[in-house]
Every structure is written in C-alpha cells, then in structure tokens.
Amino acid sequence: MTLVNQMLFSYVAEKNAKVFPGKTYLVDETRRCTFKTFHERTNALARGLFSAGMRAGDRVAVLNHNAVENAEIFWGCMKAGVIAVPVNIRLAPPEIAQILEDADPALVITGLDYLPRLTSAWTPSPERIYVIQSGVPPHKSYGELIEGFSTDRVETDAGDEDVAMLIYTSGTTGKPKGVMWTHRNLFSSAQASAISRRTRPEDVALVAAPVYQAAGVATLFSSAYRGNTTVLINHFDPAEYLATIEREGVTTAFIVPAMLMKLMQSSEIDRRDLSSMRTICYGSAPMPIDLLKRAMNRFGWRFMGACGATETSSGYIAFLPDEDHLQDGSPVKERRLRSIGKESINAEVRIFDEQDRELPAGEVGEIVIRGTNIMKGYWRQPGETAEALRNGWYHTGDLGSIDEDGYIYIVDRKKDMIISGGFNIYPKEIETALDNHPSVLESAVVGLPDPQWGETPLAVVVLKKNTEPPGADGLMEFLREKLAGYKLPRGGIVFAGELPRNAAGKVLKRELRTLYCSKPARSEKGKTNTIPGAVENRPQES
C-alpha cells in the first residue's frame, strides 16, 4: 500500500522528515525535537505498540497535558493502524471511567501527574498502563515502547477510511460520545485549515488549546501539514503566552475568545516584543464583536475567524478571512463580521427545514454539512450516528441562515449545549449529577451570557420536601466530586419551588433563560424572583 495514494495523515511526518530534516518541529516546556527525530521516534513507537500486543483497530488512551509525547503517541498510533483516544485531563475520575469503559483501550499512556486519577477511575492489569515521565512499578515506562526498536519506515495496512482517533464529546443524554475521525478526515481537515489560514512553512505556530480537545488536536495537525515549528503550552497564562511569542518568534496562533480577553487585560502587552506575530485565528466559541474590534486595534495583527465542530474533525465548516475583518464603516462589513464566514474548501454547507429540504438564501433553518471532514460516526452508537448523518448530511443542531453572498450566520442552537471558554458543556450532565444528590428532586441547567467566558451554566434546583437543604455551596462541593471544574454552575445555583413547564410537561428552559438573562448572573444572595419559591445563591468561588 502506497501512503501517497491514500489520504493517510501519517505520511505527513515522513514528508516533513525528508523536506525539513534538521528543522525544529515541536517545542514544549522541557523538550525540542526535529522533524527527522520525530519521524524516527514515531516509527519506533509503532513497532513498540506491535511488541506490546497492539493490533490494527485497538485503542490507546492518552492522559497528559500538552507535550511532545502527545504528538508522538498520535503519530505512532496512526503508523501502527491503532486508534488514539486523548482523554480530557480535567475530568473527574467518574467521567474518565465512563470514557475508558466505552473506548475499552488495550493500554493507556499517562503523564505521572495523572496516574492517581487514572488508577482511581480505572483498574486494569498494571501492565496495561505506561507512564510517560518514568516507570512507576508495577506500571511500565513510556520509553519502553520506543527504546531499542527500529526507526525504519513502518508499513501500515491502514486505509484512509479507517478510524485514526476517537475524540470524546459530551452527549445530550449525559453519556459521552466517541467521535470517530478517519485518516482521511485528519488529512482533509489539516489541509483545508492550512490553506484557509494561509500558513507558510516558515511560520512558528503556538498551540495553547489542549490537545485532548478537538480544536487543539486540529491545530497541531494543521501546523504539521504545513511543516511549521510548533510550540506547545501546558496551560494558558497570559504573561507566559506573550513571553513565548517573544522568545520563540511565534507568527501564528489559534485562540478562543476567553484567551483573547485575558490577553487584552495583561500588563505584559507593552513589555514584550510581539512584532513576529502575523495572524491570529479564533474559534471554538462565539467571538464578542466589541472584544474583536478592540483586539484588532490594539495588536495590529491579522485576525481570521473559524467555525468547526468535533463531528467535522474540528475542520472548518466556515472561515472568515482577514480581509473581512478590515472595517470601513459600511453596514455590509459590519454585518459580515457577525457571520462565521463562507463554507470551507472541503465542506458543503446548506440550510434545511424540518423535513430536510433545502431553504433559500436568508431563511432560517438547521445548518447541515457534508464533506471529507465529516466524522465516520459515533463509536458504538449506531442510532446516534444514523440520526446525525441522515441522508448523507451532518445535522449540526444549530439554526442559521446563508445570505446571498454565501456568508453563514448562526441564529440559535437547537441543542442545549453551552459553550464556555471554548469548552462544550451539556446541561444534561450537570442535571444528572445534581439529581443524584439525596436532597434534589429535579434540576434544569441553562447558559447565561458571561463577558469573559461567553456563557456560564446556571442551575435551577427543586429540593425534595422534608430533607436537609444542602445550600448552594453544599451542592457545589457535591458537584466537584462528579464533574470537571469548567462544568460547574458558576453562573449560580437557584432554588425553586417548581420548574416552568408546558402542557406536555417539558421544562421551558427558554423561560429560565429569559428570567435570568434579564438580570446580572451574579446577583445578591437570597434574592427572590418570579419562579415560585425560587431563591438564588451564588456559590463560593474556589
């Protein structure tokens, strides 16, 4: 099988090793490696996986912060025909357990810092766990999968329609869904991203988005496709981010709106030489227009907007180029800045009505997509897959319209998903956790506008009668054991006598949004509102 004749993303590592052998590819807090070294180590890793008993289609889970090893594992798995499963390190142990039980990995590679969380969530035989920094008996060292194995080219039987990665996203039912990205998906998305962003081989890319998240993985792959030097940041800190731009000569980066807001507030802006930066691509959450305009005026960089989804291999479904960010005071330019741009080169975007009929320009309906970047489906969930991909189109659940010039506008979401700081939060997950509290009868979670995070969850809780009231702080402590920190209802916890419902008994979340969007999310404790028996409590910040 010839790699070039198929859209196998593993070929990118080999190509870069030939074209840029001595060029620095990856930089993290402790390591630097060239394209040649990376290619050789991932060849050895693929053989190490074979030696460990891995076969095509097996899964390898990864728990680690942004580091060179993450990229090595992704490419080593691709070369071996094995499926990589990056796991969110911010998840609570029960959430990690859900993902591992669903993915059923043959082995897990973890950073040392995350070993206790992993072993408290999942208890396989010790030889199935490899620790990156060093071996921790009875577990093995990640180095054992590389050292001593040949670095020669690995022949793979993987096809471009085979699954290369599983990226887990929270489901509307509260159960995480593994989104299947094929080798073709990865190649197509990286190629389209690199072309749309107009990156060049000499660019230095900065990746601050976590590479267990779709946007972070996609940015890593896009940079590799173009042969960029790529700098990985472990966690986002505005001062360190700006210092890294200066130190490494960063020319391009992807950020989420919450990051941009923190950069704008940093006192380090005037202390750093940021002249190397050329372009900023933003996405993962709606960008406040006022923030965007202030940033464009402040930095003078070229800004580009991108819109994608985990189900589109985080490849762009639409792209707003830098020329559409150049404002001349015209209503047309102002309106386009509020769009997500035009469809990407590898995607077709349409607007469908409830009967899956295409709607004309300007009419609002569901945004649907098809193209080479669309996922293969949801892992072991054929029903969910059939519903999402019906008639050959991925149904996003977003409502929007397309104007006469092809610009796409998102109007609302059919789904209840909350986007906070670039992270997807499904209210059902929080509601399920709350409803498991012995004093809670039922709950409803909605997203509130937040000036920093875009949205933040607010929980409305109905308590059981004749039970000890836990209080907002008590419920927050309860949730901290069940959920990742970013999923906590930071918008507040409200106690209500009942939830508003329609005649069919469905909770009217739009009424909750209307009520709480009309007043500050962080209101005074004990304030009574119009929901029968409702009292709002703002939990203590942690």
User: What single-letter DSSP state applies at residue 236?
Assistant: -
Burial 442-451 (b: 16+ CB within 10 A, else e): bbbbbbbebe
- Pick 508 or 530 by higher pLDDT: 508
Report the C-alpha gap between 398 and 406 in whole angstroms: 17
Sheet containing 32-34: give its strands across: 32-34, 24-27, 229-232, 204-207, 252-255, 279-282, 302-308, 316-320, 342-343
pLDDT at 534 over 50: no
Neighbours of 354 (CB within 10 A): 7
What CATH fold (topology level) applies to the domain 35-158? Answer: Rossmann fold (3.40.50)
More confident residue, 419 or 66: 66
Tell me what pLDDT residue 216 has: 93
Q: With 0-12 CB in 10 A as exposed, 13-18 as middle and 19+ as buried, what is 504?
A: exposed
| β-pair partners for 291 | none
Model confidence at 332: pLDDT above 50: yes
Q: Which residues neighbour 356 within 8 Å (Cβ) at sequence distance 6 or greater?
A: 368, 390, 391, 393
Is the bond into 21 cis (omega within 30 degrees of 0)? Answer: no
Overall residue count recorded for the chain in this entry: 542
Residues 6+ apart with CB under 8 A from 137: none
pLDDT at 315 over 90: no
Give the model confidence (pLDDT) of 117-126 as tens digits. 999 988 888 8
| Residue 531: per-residue pLDDT | 41
What per-residue confidence (pLDDT) applies to 388?
Answer: 96
Q: Residue 157 burial by CB count (10 A; 0-12/13-18/19+): exposed, middle or buried?
A: exposed
Q: Which residues contact 465 (CB under 8 A, 6 or more apart)?
A: none
Residue 459: pLDDT above 60?
A: yes
What mean pLDDT is reported for the chain?
Answer: 90
The pLDDT confidence band at residue 303, using thresholds 50, 70 and 90, is very high
Q: Would you say residue 518 has pLDDT above 80?
A: no
List, in sequence order, the alpha helices (H) in 166-319.
183-197, 214-226, 238-248, 257-265, 289-299
> By mean pLDDT, which of 36-50, 231-245, 496-510 is the weakest?
496-510
Please answer whether residues 276 and 204 qualify as being in contact, where contact means their C-beta atoms are separated by less than 8 angstroms.
yes
Please give the pLDDT value at position 423: 87
Each residue's pLDDT tens digit, 402-429: 999 999 998 876 777 888 988 888 888 8
pLDDT at 475 over 70: yes
- At 288 the pLDDT is 84
- The CATH architecture to which 342-413 belongs is Roll (2.30)
Residue 129 sits at the vertex; the CA angle it makes with 377 and 45, to the nearest 5 degrees, is 75
pLDDT score recorded for residue 241 = 98
Q: Is the pLDDT of residue 314 over 90?
A: no
pLDDT band at 378 (very low <50, low <70, confident <90, very high): very high
Average pLDDT over residues 52-67: 97
Q: What is the pLDDT of residues 145-203, one digit of tens each?
A: 999 999 999 988 889 999 999 999 875 556 789 999 999 999 999 999 999 999 999 99
**CA 524 to chain CA mean position, Å:** 33
Query: How big is the CA angle at 287 (ends 286 and 292), to the nearest 5 degrees?
Result: 175
Yes or no: say if 459 and 432 are a contact pair by the CB < 8 Å rule: no
pLDDT (average), residues 385-402: 95
Q: How confident is the model at residue 239 (pLDDT cuts 50, 70, 90)?
A: very high
Predicted confidence (pLDDT) at residue 537 exceeds the cutoff of 50: no
* Residues 428 and 507: beta-carbon distance below 8 Å: no
Calculate mean pLDDT across residues 491-496: 94
pLDDT in the model for residue 173: 56
- The residues near 441 (Cβ < 8 Å, ≥ 6 apart) are 462, 463, 464
pTM: 0.83
Kindly tell me the sign of the dihedral angle through the C-alpha atoms of 257, 258, 261, 262.
negative
When mean pLDDT is compared across 171-175, 310-314, 340-344, the lowest value belongs to: 171-175
Residue with tokens 């941009």: 260
CATH H superfamily, domain 418-537 = ANL, C-terminal domain (3.30.300.30)
400 vs 349: which has the higher pLDDT: 349
Rounded distance between C-alpha atoms, residue 283 and residue 410, angstroms:
13
Residues sharing a CB contact under 8 Å with residue 147, sequence separation 6 or more, in sequence order: 44
State the maximum Cα–Cα separation within the chain, in Å, rounded to a whole number.
Answer: 72
Q: Is the pLDDT of residue 523 over 80?
A: no
What are φ and ψ of residue 540, in 5° steps?
-65, 140
Parse the chain into domains and list their residue ranges: 35-158, 342-413, 418-537
Say what the pLDDT of residue 111 is.
96
Query: What is the model's pLDDT at position 133?
Result: 81
What is residue 170's three-state secondary structure? Answer: coil
Listed in order, strand segments (DSSP E) in 249-393 are 252-255, 279-282, 302-308, 316-320, 342-343, 347-352, 365-371, 377-378
Contact criterion met (CB below 8 Å) for 63 and 108: yes
Residue 198 region, left (φ>0) first, then alpha (ψ -120 to 50), else beta? left
Return the minimum-mean-pLDDT range out of 22-31, 133-142, 365-374. 133-142
With bands split at pLDDT 50, 70 and 90, how would you rate the model's confidence at 266?
very high
